[in-house]
Amino acid sequence: NAGVTQTPKFQVLKTGQSMTLQCAQDMNHNSMYWYRQDPGMGLRLIYYSASEGTTDKGEVPNGYNVSRLNKREFSLRLESAAPSQTSVYFCASSESTANSPLHFGNGTRLTVT
Amino acid sequence: AQSVTQLGSHVSVSEGALVLLRCNYSSSVPPYLFWYVQYPNQGLQLLLKYTSAATLVKGINGFEAEFKKSETSFHLTKPSAHMSDAAEYFCAVSASGGTSYGKLTFGQGTILTVHP
């Protein structure tokens, strides 16, 4: 059982380049999320999708866009990467109730030079 | 609005000693509370969750946490630390109503080191 799969695992970009982080889940969850993790700051929500066809901004959406391609897949796009976007990015999914835990992928480590 | 504060970014214990990781929260509505663990180069895994059914919650790997409303706390404990418990631990809060589900607010994390 794969759970939540993220690709790529590592990426190095130059300032101004673009890229898309891919995420897929096989647990039939309605809700999916993108978080970024920075040292000493915990995880911060970038965007989330409560269900297929809907997306909403989280705490730190600037510089990012998302697409909920179908129920399984939720991608995160950086149109013009900046050094401040150097981080570890986690995708997660959950059932659509407030007490449902998040299931996380293993993360994408992104460096922008 | 909701927030989480984890007291102590680093905690060090000896193998076999008590583990205590502190978490205080604020929430305008009754909260759901979670503890997650992150091992190096991995995603977060759920340790336990509080959903108002019982104030003392037991999780995996011998961890437990007690919800204290009067103290707005949800501290994580384990009676006897094991070397394999070395990891980073995150406390998180979710509002119980409306469309806030899944929009967890995380604490800053506490790195647990276990010495032989």
The tens digit of pLDDT for each residue in B46-78 reads 999 998 778 899 999 999 999 999 999 999 999
- Distance in angstroms (rounded) separating the CA atoms of residues A64 and A79: 7
CB-based contact A102 B109, cutoff 8 Å:
no
Q: For residue A32, what are the contacts with CB-CB under 8 A and spacing of at least 6?
A: A23, A25, A48, A49, A68, A74, A91, A92, A93
Identify the pLDDT of residue B98.
54
CB-based contact B108 A40, cutoff 8 Å:
yes
Segment A60-65 shows an average pLDDT of: 96
Identify the pLDDT of residue B99.
55
CB-based contact B43 A106, cutoff 8 Å:
yes
Helix (H, G, I), strand (E, B) or coil at B45: strand
Tell me the pLDDT band of B100, cut-offs 50, 70 and 90: low
- Distance in angstroms (rounded) separating the CA atoms of residues A2 and A29: 13
> What one-letter code names the amino acid at A30?
N
Count, in order, helices (H) and strands (E) of chain B. 0, 11
Identify the pLDDT of residue B101.
60
Considering only CB atoms, A90 lies closest to which of B34, B43, B96, namely: B43
Per residue in A7-59, pLDDT (tens digit) is: 999 999 999 999 999 999 999 999 999 999 998 889 999 999 988 889 999 99
The alpha-carbon gap from A92 to the nearest alpha carbon of chain B, in Å, equals: 9
The average confidence (pLDDT) of chain B is 90
- Distance in angstroms (rounded) separating the CA atoms of residues A58 and B103: 8
Contact criterion met (CB below 8 Å) for B112 and B22:
no
- Distance in angstroms (rounded) separating the CA atoms of residues B33 and B21: 14
Identify the pLDDT of residue B61.
93
Tell me the pLDDT band of B103, cut-offs 50, 70 and 90: confident
Q: For residue B81, what are the contacts with CB-CB under 8 A and spacing of at least 6?
A: B13, B14, B15, B16, B17, B18, B19, B112, B114
Identify the pLDDT of residue B35.
97
Identify the pLDDT of residue A1.
65
Per residue in A69-107, pLDDT (tens digit) is: 899 999 999 999 999 999 999 999 998 777 788 999 999
Contacting residues of B for A44, CB less than 8 Å apart: 106
- Distance in angstroms (rounded) separating the CA atoms of residues B93 and B15: 29
